[in-house]
Structure 1
Amino acid sequence: MLVQFTRWFWGSVRFRIEGSAERFFNHCARCGIVLWGMQAGETPGAWIRAGQYSQLLGCARSAHCRLRVEEKRGLPFRTYWLRRRKGLVTGAVLGAVILTILSQQVWCVQAQGLESITQEELQAACREIGLVPGAWRSSVDPLQAEQQLMLRFPHVTWLTVNTQGSAVYIELSEGVEKPDMDTWKQPGNVKAAASGQIVRLEVYAGTPVVNVGDAVTADQLLISGVMEDPYGNVSLRHASGRVIASTVREFSAQIPMTETIEEPSGQIISRRSASFFDLRLPLTLTEEPGEGWEKESVRTVLRANGVELPVSWLEETWREVSVRERLLTPEEALEAARAEVERQKSALKGLTVLNGKESISQENGVLYYTLHAQCEEDIAVETEILVNSPN
């Protein structure tokens, strides 16, 4: 089997002898030329390795014989046509070399299980630790990458990094962030965040120092963290609770009667580029426009069998916008002012507006809006007891 493969690899030539075959074979034996499949009779001939056929010409002249090639076999004759296409051979060799090099690199990094963590945040963390497309696979340590990513995202319950071929897969599960237990260990009071009259009192821990119906001022003590048992022993605790009070709030907003709007002018510029790993190849000669343009981009990543390849296509669409001033109607300005006041009310904890009175005025191109509201809200705010304070 090995002999046959060697003959096929180097190529073999079957030739016919015209003249005295015995004399020719004797000359070949003296010269140490190896032949096989020798035949005598009416059509004498033999097989020889293709590279040694030229050595037979001297033996044929000495034996007064002529040689005729009858058959050619083997790899050199199968690939003979490639000798006239050197560019094709060079390209195939370079392609094999490039493919071998690329197979040793990371082509893509894919993540599963993202919830509060965005894809951009995870990609930024991967770039910091060198886990990016184009990195050498030999430099990727999955265990070390897991530890580094866990340090960057402490609220992740578990995280694994696996390599499969030229792809890196990150799987993670996000957990609920643990509360700060140290806060509950610190002794503290509950004070009033605003002035008002208490309508409901819910004490979870501590000693209440006010009652329902009492009027309180801002920063007044509501629930004390100082606890005293029946024997007169005093201890400090972290007070907590809800104190619902009737309060008076004033919300205001100032809305200019003119607004700046942007409108498309209709002029559009398209730019295209291709990316190979971190190398960006522009496919258009159009330069990026300056200010006054809005950009929309769509990136298409090539995939094979569900795996992202390090090749992507980016198409950018730039639209020119013109800026102009528009005069608001009183109704539009009032609606914007009310929306701003609603945002202010939503920022307050547990606020309920019972009734309110609006005040509207317009001066120097500005709408002034004020809402005087009767509210109910949780005015409890926890504060720390400074045990070591000199006061």
Structure 2
Amino acid sequence: MFLTLWNYLRGYVIVEVSGFSMERFINLAVNNNIYLWDIQEKDHKIYFKTGIEDFKRLKPHAKKARCRFKAKYKKGFPFVAYKYKKRKMLTIGSVLFILMIWMLASFVWLVEVEGNERISSLDIITSLEAKGYSAGKLKTKLNLREAETYLINQYPDIVWAGIKFEGTRLLVQIAEIVPKPQMNDENVPCNIIAKRDALITYIATYKGMPLVKKGDTVKKGDVLVAGQMPLGIDDPNMYFTASRANIKGKTTYYMQGEASIQQMSKDYTDHVSRKYSLKLFNKLIPFLNQKVSFEYYDRVITTNQLRITKLFPLPFAFEVEERLEYVPVITEITEQDAKDQLLARLWEDLSKNLSDTAIILKRDVFFSKTGNAISAILSVIAEEDIGYAVELQNEGEN
């Protein structure tokens, strides 16, 4: 690849040779240190490439071998420069274009975040912008190691942050802390705490001192099994252990909501109004805005950022805002359909609060109607695991 680039920069000629002693001509040229490459024979003629200076040295050898040769094609930068040397404005424009690209490549024009799951990318980008790490900043003015430290201090869930330049992109890579599992280490002293209000239906304690029994009512946060207990009946000294128990309780959930018998849907038409804008740096410049002649519409915005390559986004973007007209259509459903839809929505929301091991014991729903609105209260009684381990912070406390 380097040799190809070098030959292009110094220029070369594709030579066509004809005659009766073409092989002798090639041998004479090579023996006199004339560099030839890509030698090919086609249609009783020989073609090869050679440098500009070496081409001038071929004449005496062609005469000695009684061959004819000519420059079939001229390639390389010297010939391009000669062709355009009289077009000064084109040359100046090309130089200015290269300088502009070089200047634009010295800035950051896009910030992207990778590796995040729980933390929003928008929150991370907003935090960096508040500290001056945003699009439009000169690369040499940004201290990436300082930005990494800032992110780690700003977000406790970030255990590692790496920031680097990729072309004109500022790529932020982070690793989040893995959440601690609810189950405790068997060697770490802990209490078992109630997740929520419940009526104890079953308790089997394997380690620790139970503080409740079947039939007891507990509140969220109550200690169900203590991780500290006396050494014996006559020994008041306490020792600590990792509590383990299987505790089930009867829990109650409520969810309420409302639905209307009259529901609105959107009937989209073929009418579309568009607004075209050019985004330069962080400024939006509209240059064509079609009139909106309808009352109801949805907006769809499409932004196409100009890039030289994937790694070199530029601070220019073409934005199209489409306004899609729709006609609001009011439809009236039956009262039973409204109840079914409302019940399905309430159950979906309530199910998010149930544990994976929950067994539904009873489910009741109460409907009421006011005008065109249907209200509902969904109540669920379930049996589920209600205990979770909480590490004892101070083992020295009695």
* Structures share fold, TM-score greater than 0.5: yes
The answer to whether the 8 Å contact 1:156/1:174 transfers is: yes
Change in 2 beyond 3 A, CA 1:206/1:267: farther
1:322 CA displacement: 3.9
CA distance in 2, matches of 1:128, 1:222: 46
Query: What SS does structure 2 have at the residue aligned with 1:170?
Result: strand
Amino acid in the other structure paired with 1:108? L
1:369 CA displacement: 4.4
State yes or no: 1:243 paired with 2:247. yes
CA distance in 1, matches of 2:308, 2:344: 49
Query: What SS does structure 2 have at the residue aligned with 1:331?
Result: helix
Amino acid in the other structure paired with 1:316? E
The answer to whether the 8 Å contact 1:301/1:308 transfers is: no
In structure 2, the partner of 1:160 is 162
Change in 2 beyond 3 A, CA 1:235/1:290: farther
Query: What SS does structure 1 have at the residue aligned with 2:125?
Result: helix
In structure 2, the partner of 1:367 is 374
- Map 1:274-289 → 2, pairs under 5 A: 274-286=278-290
Amino acid in the other structure paired with 2:178? V
In structure 1, the partner of 2:51 is none
Query: What SS does structure 2 have at the residue aligned with 1:284?
Result: strand
State yes or no: 1:346 paired with 2:346. no
State yes or no: 1:377 paired with 2:384. yes
1:331 CA displacement: 3.2
1:288 CA displacement: 8.1
State yes or no: 1:190 paired with 2:203. no
The answer to whether the 8 Å contact 1:192/1:216 transfers is: no
Amino acid in the other structure paired with 2:145? L
CA distance in 2, matches of 1:100, 1:195: 68
Describe the superposition over 1:1-20 as per-residue Cα deviations: whole angstroms up to 9, x where unpaired: xxxxxxxxxxxxxxxxxxxx
1:271 to 256, 263, 275: 275
CA distance in 2, matches of 1:122, 1:372: 40
1:142 to 134, 141, 144: 144
Instruction: Compare CA radii of gyration and give the structure with the larger one.
Output: 1
- Map 1:18-33 → 2, pairs under 5 A: none
Amino acid in the other structure paired with 2:304? T
Q: Provide TM-score, normalisation by structure 2.
A: 0.60
- Map 1:251-262 → 2, pairs under 5 A: 253-262=257-266
1:239 CA displacement: 6.2
In structure 1, the partner of 2:72 is none
The answer to whether the 8 Å contact 1:162/1:169 transfers is: yes
CA distance in 2, matches of 1:177, 1:248: 28
1:330 to 335, 351, 364: 335
Amino acid in the other structure paired with 2:320? E
CA distance in 2, matches of 1:232, 1:274: 79
% identical aligned pairs: 18
Q: Which of 107-116 and 313-322 deviates more?
A: 107-116
Change in 2 beyond 3 A, CA 1:217/1:119: closer
Q: Which of 315-324 and 214-223 deviates more?
A: 214-223
Change in 2 beyond 3 A, CA 1:143/1:358: closer
In structure 2, the partner of 1:3 is none
Query: What SS does structure 2 have at the residue aligned with 1:283?
Result: strand
CA distance in 2, matches of 1:167, 1:79: 35
In structure 1, the partner of 2:172 is 170
Amino acid in the other structure paired with 1:282? P
CA distance in 2, matches of 1:160, 1:372: 48
State yes or no: 1:215 paired with 2:215. yes
Change in 2 beyond 3 A, CA 1:381/1:260: farther
CA distance in 2, matches of 1:264, 1:250: 38
The answer to whether the 8 Å contact 2:191/2:223 transfers is: no
The answer to whether the 8 Å contact 1:204/1:240 transfers is: yes
CA distance in 2, matches of 1:210, 1:336: 41
Query: What SS does structure 2 have at the residue aligned with 1:316?
Result: strand
Change in 2 beyond 3 A, CA 1:233/1:317: same
1:307 CA displacement: 1.5
CA distance in 2, matches of 1:384, 1:177: 15
Describe the superposition over 1:309-359 as per-residue Cα deviations: whole angstroms up to 9, x where unpaired: 222222221123444543221332122232233122432445321344555
Amino acid in the other structure paired with 1:319? L
1:139 CA displacement: 0.5
The answer to whether the 8 Å contact 1:192/1:222 transfers is: no
The answer to whether the 8 Å contact 1:345/1:351 transfers is: no
Amino acid in the other structure paired with 1:307? L
Q: Which of 335-344 and 259-268 deviates more?
A: 259-268
Q: How many residue pairs get matched? A: 303
Amino acid in the other structure paired with 2:353? A
Q: Provide TM-score, normalisation by structure 1.
A: 0.61
CA distance in 2, matches of 1:289, 1:185: 69
Change in 2 beyond 3 A, CA 1:322/1:308: farther
CA RMSD of aligned residues (A): 4.3
Describe the superposition over 1:41-61 as per-residue Cα deviations: whole angstroms up to 9, x where unpaired: xxxxxxxxxxxxxxxxxxxxx
CA distance in 2, matches of 1:374, 1:164: 55
1:244 CA displacement: 0.9
